[in-house]
Every structure is written in C-alpha cells, then in structure tokens.
Amino acid sequence: MTYGLRKGESVLITALEGVGKTELMHAIEYTLLTETDHALGAIFLEEPKARHLQALAGIELRSPVHLPDNGVSESEVVSALRKVVGKDDRLNIYSHFGSSDPGVILDTIRFLVVACGCSYILLDHISMVVSGLGSEDERKALDAIATRLEMMVKELNFALIIVSHVNDEGQTRGSRYIGKIADIRIDATRNL
C-alpha cells in the first residue's frame, strides 16, 4: 500500500498517549538497522540515550533489558547492540532529553543527513521540540518546523519518521498542519 519507507518522503506516526508510539519507533529503527546497511539518525526527546540503547538490545535479545531483574548481563547487552548496529558510525543518536530549540533540531537533522550520511531520521516526538515555548507560540512553531522538515526531506532526499500525539478527536496535538504535510500518516491504536 505505501511501498515502504522511501527517501524524499516523511511518515507521521500518531496515537494517543500510552499506545506505544516510541516502541513502534524502536521496532522500525531495529528493522532498518538489521535489514539495511544505511546510516540512521535517532532523535528521541522523551527517552535518555541509555534507555534508547536498551530498547534496541531488548528487541534483539527478546528481553526487557531495562528492568533491574532481567537476567541479562551488561556484556550481553553490548554484544546485542553491536550485532544490531553492525558497524561504527552507523547509528547516530542525538542525546538530548526534553524540549529543545526548533532551530537546533533542524540543524542537527541537516548535520545527520549531510555530514553523517543518514538516510533515515527518526524524530520522537515533534511536539516535544516546541514544548518549552509559550502555548500561543506553540502552534505557529509546530507549523513552521513541520514545513521546514518537509522542505528539508525533499531537498536532502532522506526519509523522516516523526511521532506526534493526538487529542481525543484524533487531531495532531498542537497543530493539525503536521498531519496534512506528511507524505504518509499512520494512526496507531492498541488492541484491547
């Protein structure tokens, strides 16, 4: 139906809080790392770098390695990560927890694509980029960053996978424009 993830296109993943958007992003990242040889950029603003790496190792080991009683040694986690990533400089993680200046995120993405050769950028989640701004400026900032991201995707020819929360009516939180500008939108739900 969508022909997969393609360079020059953006994919928006939306869902209510607690559905598992970040875990879905981990699964996509894991698949890209294990089934392609492309470099990736990961910007997970709600997750510290250590937890991010534990998630990838946990998928490989089929164990929740982030839990204290997981029974997996640190050397097993490191070995699993080496297997998933494959080679140095392939997985580029932007290490920043919480909101950030939108310009910094845009510059970081440009750097990851141009200087690091990343074919795929995963951004979890776009609302967090502007959450430190005042509520009146948030919608305008989200509209502006969504536009600039989409222009950058076309200009630099990389694939962008973005996460956004939705409200109870299914509209992207903060700005409806985000859902309109993406090439593909995937609305995730949890089976009950």
Decide if pLDDT at 143 tops 90. Answer: no
Q: E strands of the chain, at which residues?
A: 10-15, 39-44, 91-93, 118-124, 159-165, 184-187
pLDDT at 81: 95
pLDDT tens digits, one per residue of 80-108: 999 999 988 999 999 776 666 788 899 99
Q: How far apart are CA 169 and CA 143, in angstroms?
A: 19
- Rounded CA-CA distance 134/92 in Å is 30
Q: Which two tokens stand for residue 176?
A: 């409806």
pLDDT of residue 42: 97
Q: Which residues pair with 44 in a beta bridge?
A: 124
Percent of the chain whose predicted confidence (pLDDT) is above 90: 55
What 3-state class would DSSP assign to 187?
Answer: strand
Per-residue model confidence (pLDDT) at position 141? 81
What does the pLDDT look like over 100-140, one tens digit per residue? 678 889 999 999 999 999 999 999 988 887 776 655 577 78
Task: Supply the pLDDT for residue 110.
Answer: 97
pLDDT, position 136: 59
Closest Cα partner for 159 from 13, 44, 5?
Answer: 5
CA 122, CA 109: separation in Å to the nearest integer?
10
Band the pLDDT of 31: cuts 50, 70, 90: very high
C-alpha 36: how far from its chain's center? 17
More confident residue, 167 or 119: 119
Q: Is the peptide bond before 125 cis (omega within 30 degrees of 0)?
A: yes
Tell me if 121 sits within 8 A of 113, measured CB to CB.
yes
As a whole number of angstroms, the distance between CA 122 and CA 92 comes to 10
| Beta-bridge mates of residue 185 | 12
Query: 18 falls in which pLDDT band (50, 70, 90)?
Result: confident
